[in-house]
Chains A and B, each alone.
Chain A
Amino acid sequence: MDAVRSLDDLAELLRLPKRVDGTPRWDPQHKVKRGETPPANLRLSLEAPLSVEGVTMEGLRLRAAAPKFEPGRKVAIQLMLLHRGKWRPFTRIDWRGPPHTNRRDPGFEHYMRDVGETHVHRLCDNAFLGWPGVVTSDEDLPNAAPLEDPGDFAALLSLAAGELYVENLTDIGEPPWEASFTLR
C-alpha cells in the first residue's frame, strides 16, 4: 500500500496479513565487554522488517524487547511506523510488564481502571488521538485493554500474531533468558 496518510490507512496496514522477513535475533541492547558482568537490567531487543505478499514494507517494523535476567516477564511486542523521521509504535502488547491505568480518555471502556500487567494497546482504542496524533503525541498509546495472561512465551506469540496480523510471528525464538535474581 501507499504511504500512510490517515488513521484509516494505518488501520488497513495493521489488518494486512504480514510476515516477519528474515530470521530476526534477540540482541543485548548494549554491548557487554568480555569478562564484564552484565548489568541486572540488561535488555534484549529484536527488530524485523515486515512484508506483505512478498514485498518488504517501507517504514514498518516489528519490535520486541525483554529483560535478559527475568525469564517470562516484561515482554513487549509492537508494530512501529516511520513517521516524519521517527519510529513510533502504533499497536503494542505488554506481557507481565508494569500495570497500566487508563487515565486519558473518559469515553474508553476501561477508563480509570488498572488493566493489569498483561494488556494490549490497540490502534482502535487509541484512535481518539487522531491522525497523525497517534504516532506523534507524547502520550505513547495511552489506552490499553486487559488481556488474559497467555501463560508462556509461545502462547504470547500466538496471541500477538493475531493482534498484530503477523502470520509467522510464532517462528521467532524465545529470548535467550537467564534466571538470575541476585543483586549484581
Chain B
Amino acid sequence: MGGFVYAPLTPIVGRSDGIGIAAAIEDLVRARVVGEKTELVMPVLYPNGSHVVISVWPNGDRFLVSDDGGAATEADMAGVRPSVFARLAKAEAERVGAVCDTRAFFFLRVDHERLAMAITVLADAARATVAAALETLVAAKRDTLEERLFERLDRTFRGAKVHHHAEVRGASSVEHDVDALVEFDGRRVVFNTFSRNPQSVNALVAKFVDLSQLETPLVRVGVTSDKSRIGYRLQLVSSVGRVIEVDAAAGTYERAAA
C-alpha cells in the first residue's frame, strides 16, 4: 500500500488571520497534492451532500482536469445502473465541451487562463449528471405511483371508461400524454401523477394549463404520493387542477372527479 502518505486537507491558500469571512472564503476550496495531481474539494455538492472533487494534472504546457470518476462513483453507490450513468454523462460532457471516457469527465488540454473556469464547469457537470442519474431512480418510482393510480381508478370508477395512458389534445392543439382519462356521464376527467421534483411539477402545470383552456375544459386531477412533501409548488398545481394523494379513499377520488 506504499507510495502515498495520507495527509489532512488544508485550505488552498495560507490562512491570513483565521477569522471572519476571509477565513470562510479560504475554506471554500481545499486542496491536496497526490503524486502529480492536485485534488480540489469544491464548494459544490452532489445530491447526498458529498463534495465534488476535481483533480488537475499537468499535461505538457497545459492541464488535464478530471473528476477522476467521482461522479460515476456517487451514482454507482446510490444504485444507478452504469449504462444509465454513461448515457447521461456523455450528454452532459457534450453539452459543456468535455470528454467522458471510462466513467470520468475530462477537459484534456486546458490553458492556464481557462483553468479556474474549466474546474468550475467540470464540477457542475459532475454534480448535474449525478442529480439527473438519481432522478432516474425516482422516475422509476413514479411508475409504481402510476400503477397505484390505475389500480385505484379501476376500482373506484367501475361503471366508467378508464383509459390508461391516454392522449388528450389541449387548447394549443398539442397532444398531451396523460396517465389516465376517465369518462362517465358525459364528463371527462384527467388524472396525472407528479412528484415533488420541480421538473415534474412544471411539466404537469404546463399540461394542465393547456387542458384548462379548452372550450369544454376537462376536470384535471394531479395525483401524488404525499402532498405534504410537495412544498410551496403545490400552489402551482392547485391553481390549474385538483390534487389528491394516490392512496386516498374512493370517496376522495369521486369528489375530485365530480
Q: Check B64 for interface membership: any CB of A closer than 8 A.
A: yes
Q: Is B53 an interface residue (CB 8 A)?
A: yes
Q: B78 to A102, Cβ gap below 8 A?
A: no
| A139 surroundings in chain B (CB, below 8 A) | 47-48, 134
CB of A165 within 8 A of chain B? no
Instruction: Find out whether the CB atom of B49 lies under 8 angstroms from the CB atom of A144.
Output: yes
Q: Is B222 in the interface zone, CB < 8 Å from A?
A: no
* Contact among A30, A99, A140, A177 for B41, CB-based, below 8 A: A99
Asked whether any CB of chain B lies closer than 8 Å to the CB of A72, the reply is yes
Q: Which of B31-84 contact A (CB under 8 A)?
A: 34-37, 41, 45-53, 57-59, 64, 66, 68-70, 72-74, 76-79, 82
Chain A: which residue is nearest B78 at the CB level? A140
Contact A138 B47 (CB under 8 A): yes
Given the contacts A39-B102, A41-B68, A88-B78, A71 and B4 also touching, CB distance less than 8 Å: yes
Give the residues in chain A near B141, CB-CB below 8 Å. Answer: 84, 136
In whole angstroms, how far apart are the Cα atoms of A84 and B141 in the complex?
A: 8
Contact partner, A99, options B9, B35, B48, B77, Cβ 8 Å? B9
**B53/A136 in contact, CB under 8 A:** no
Contact flags A60-97 to B (C-beta < 8 A → 1, else 0): 00010101001111101010100011111100101011
Q: Does A18 contact B (CB under 8 A)?
A: no
A58→B51 CA distance, assembly (Å): 33
Q: Does A103 count as interface, using CB distance less than 8 angstroms?
A: yes
Count, A-B residue pairs, CB within 8 A: 139
Q: How far is the CB of B163 from chain A (nearest CB, A)?
A: 25
- Cβ B79 vs Cβ A142 within 8 A: no
Interchain CB contact under 8 A, B35 and A182: yes
B231 within 8 Å of A (CB atoms): no
Q: CB-CB < 8 A to B59: which residues of A?
A: 183
B75 nearest in chain A by CB position: A140
Name 17 extra pairs, CB < 8 A, besides A88-B137, A97-B50, A183-B59: A30-B103, A40-B68, A41-B104, A43-B103, A71-B3, A76-B77, A88-B79, A89-B77, A96-B6, A98-B51, A99-B51, A100-B49, A101-B49, A138-B134, A138-B135, A142-B47, A153-B1
In the A-B complex, the 4 residue pairs with the smallest Cβ-Cβ separation, listed nearest first, are A181-B35, A179-B3, A41-B69, A140-B48
